[in-house]
Amino acid sequence: MKKNNFKGQVWIETVVYTLIGLAIMAILLSISMPQIEKIKDKSIITQTTDSLNVLNSKVSEAEEARGSIRVVNFKIAKGRLELNSSGNKVIYTLENTKLELSQIGESIKEGNVIMETKKSGDKFNIFLTMDYNNTLNLTYNGKKETKVLQAGTAPYKIILENTGYDASRKINIDFNLG
């Protein structure tokens, strides 16, 4: 009889130790996952800032002569890119992140990109903006409309064309997708 009790005790101990091990792993994961997400989002912001600076350099190249056409491949891993021609802005938005990139409401300028963090509940929304309002007139497909590009696996092929001066004597850069 003692032999059967011993076998039962071994199984109970095995189950208890397994449950303790799983509980410890769950606690470690619950602590480390938010930090991993922050690191991923920081990487996405860095890559997107670099891509926006490349886009800005292509806009500058297209700005040099009427009829100039430049092509930019732009990958959006997370978030969305807004080509806001009515405001003459290009805005990248990363919503619902735990990453607080900057002080709330404080703007940081990196190249031609203005970075801003806004609070949204217990998370944050990060905005990367390139503002051309004082220098250029932006259009999308020849019109003053807003085009939103969502995250996806394939990069977008953005075509920039200098269509000359507009009525206010600003150079018009027309965005299009190829």
pLDDT tens readout for residues 17-75: 999 999 999 999 888 888 999 999 999 999 999 999 999 999 999 999 999 999 999 99
Q: What mean pLDDT comes out for the span 65-94?
A: 95
pLDDT of residue 111: 85
Q: Which two tokens stand for residue 8?
A: 């039962």
Secondary structure element (H or E) that encloses residue 158, with its range: strand 156-165
Phi-psi map region of 142: left, alpha, beta (phi>0 left; psi -120 to 50 alpha): left
Place of tokens 């076998």: 7
